[in-house]
Amino acid sequence: MFSLSGQKALVIGIANEQSIAWGCAKALKAQGADLAVTWLNAKAEPHVRPLAEAIGAAIMGPLDVSVPGQLEAIFSQIAQTWGGLDTLVHSIAFAPKTDLHGRVIDCSPEGFGLAMDISVHSFLRMIRLAEPLMPQGGTCLSVSFFGASRVVRHYNMMGPVKAALESAVRYAAAELGEKGIRVHALSPGPLATRAASGIDHFDELLQAASERAPTHQLATIEDVGAMAAFLASNAARNLTGGVHDIDGGFSITA
C-alpha cells in the first residue's frame, strides 16, 4: 500500500544530514522512489553531493530559486531524463536576519518580499513547472510551522510568511485537485537544523515542545519523512490541501 516503487521524486532543501529535506529524501528512497536532489550553490555542494550519491540520486544539480533560470533548468533535466515527476518536496525558507530578529511590524518591505519569494512563491513556481510532468497526478509538499497560525515568540516575520504558505497550499490544492495533483504542508515541531539556528532563543522552543507535547518527544526528520512518504503514496490519493502536524501533539495543547 505504501510502496513508492517506480515513482520519481524531486527533493529541494537538503543542506546537510540534519535537514528536513534529507529526512524526506531518505524515506522516499526507502519506499522505492528514484530521486532528484539539488543544492543551493557551490558552497553547499560538498555537503549535499555525498548525500545525493548515498541515496543514488539520478539527477542532481544547483538550485537557488532566486537565480533566474535555475528552477527551469532542473525541471527540464527531469523532463528529459524521466519524462515525468510524481512527488515534489519544497523544504526551503529564507528571511534576512535583521528582519527576522525584529518585530513583525518593523520588518522591511524588501526583507518581507524576499522571505515571501523564497519561502512561498518559489513553491508556486515549482508546482507550475511540475504540473505538466504530472499528467496522472502527483504530490507537492512544502514545510510549514505552528507559528503560521499562533504567535510563537521569536518566530516573528516567519509567522505571516508561513501563514501565506499554508494558504497557498490550500489554493493550489483546490486548483489542481481535479488533475489528481495533491498539495500539502508538513508542519513539524521544532527541530535543530541550520535554518532553525537563525531563530533567536530556538533552544527555548525545543524545550517548550518537549515539555508540552503529549508524547514529550521532539519531532525528528525521520518522522517528517514518514509522513511525506505516506502522502506521496497511493494510500493518500484522496487527501489534499492539508497542514499535517508532526509534533507529538504539541499543537493540541493550550
Which residues carry out catalysis? 155, 162
- Please say which residue, 138 or 189, places its beta carbon nearer to ligand NAD: 189
Q: In Å, what is the CA distance from 67 to each residue of 72, 118, 126, 187, 200?
A: 10, 11, 14, 27, 28
Residue 246: CB minimum distance to ligand NAD, A: 9
Q: Which residue stretches of the chain are H helix?
A: 20-30, 45-54, 70-81, 97-100, 109-116, 122-130, 158-176, 202-212, 221-232
Contact status, residue 56 vs residue 9, Cβ threshold 8 Å: no
- Angstrom distance (rounded) from CA 190 to CA 23: 14
3-class state of residue 3 by DSSP: coil
Q: Which is nearer to ligand NAD, 117 or 177 (CB)?
A: 117
Least CB distance to ligand NAD at residue 188 (A)? 5
DSSP reduced 3-state for 31? coil
Which residues, at least 6 apart from 63, have a Cβ–Cβ distance to it below 8 Å? Answer: 12, 38, 39, 40, 70, 71, 74
Radius of gyration of the chain (CA): 17
Binding residues (CB under 6 A) for ligand NAD: these are 13-15, 18-21, 40, 44, 63-66, 91-94, 118, 143, 145, 188, 190-191, 193-196
Comparison of 32 and 230: residue with beta carbon closer to ligand NAD: 230
For cell 519523512, the residue is 225
What is the closest distance, in whole angstroms, from the C-beta atom of residue 180 to ligand NAD in the complex? 25
Measured CA to CA, the distance from residue 157 to residue 188 in angstroms comes to 18
174: left (phi over 0), alpha (psi -120 to 50) or beta: alpha
